[in-house]
Amino acid sequence: MKDYYTELRVKNGPALAGHGAEAVRDAITRTIVKLPEHLRKSLTWDQGAEMSQHTQLRIDTGLKVYFCDPRSPWQRGSNENTNGLLRQYFPKGTDLSLHSADAIIAVAHTLNTRSRKTLGWKTPAEAFNQLLIETQKEDSVASTG
């Protein structure tokens, strides 16, 4: 039996539940490259060790990565709000590897189709689709002008 009280914890050891720096980098890369290039210019993150691969992320995607100041959650307000919503489904410390991809996609769908006051009571999906439509119109006008 493992003695959790006297055994030293190895920091920066192997990633648990696939949330190590390489797994995070790979997941962001796979997702971000699906966006139109002009919508994937930067990413703001907290000071978590899971972003220690940010230099490689920049090389792989061209994405500029900015970091919030430590202990300054107001610098990432929408992220903190979303974390709170996610905690309704996955309490802090939840091992996401225990959930199927379909279950996680279902939670993402639920949150992306839930209206938000900060979006004028549109859903994130509606606001994102509107942004895509507007930028497509701008691109078509720019290419014909």
In the block, residue with structure tokens 């839930």: 114
Q: Going by C-beta distance under 8 Å and a sequence separation of 6 or more, which residues neighbour residue 17? A: 95, 96, 97, 98
pLDDT value at residue 77: 76
pLDDT value at residue 12: 44
Nearest-5° Cα angle at 39, 34 to 44: 100
Q: Helices then strands (H, E): number in the chain?
A: 5, 2
Burial class (CB in 10 A: 0-12, 13-18, 19+), 57: buried
Q: How far apart are CA 63 and CA 76, in angstroms?
A: 18
The SS3 of residue 73 is helix
- Cβ atoms < 10 Å from Cβ of 137: 10
pLDDT value at residue 112: 94
pLDDT in tens, 87-138: 999 998 888 888 898 999 999 999 999 999 989 999 999 999 999 898 887 7
Residue 32, token pair as written in the block: 């971000």
pLDDT in tens, 50-83: 889 999 999 999 999 998 888 887 787 787 888 8
Could you tell me which residue, 29 or 145, shows the higher pLDDT? Answer: 29
| Mean pLDDT rounded to a whole number for the chain | 82
Q: Looking at the predicted structure, is the pLDDT value of residue 17 above 80? A: no
pLDDT value at residue 5: 46
Q: How far apart are CA 104 and CA 86, in angstroms?
A: 10
pLDDT value at residue 143: 60
DSSP letters, 79-96, are HHHHHHHHHTTS-TT--G
120: left (phi over 0), alpha (psi -120 to 50) or beta: left
pLDDT value at residue 145: 56
Query: What is the model's pTM?
Result: 0.66
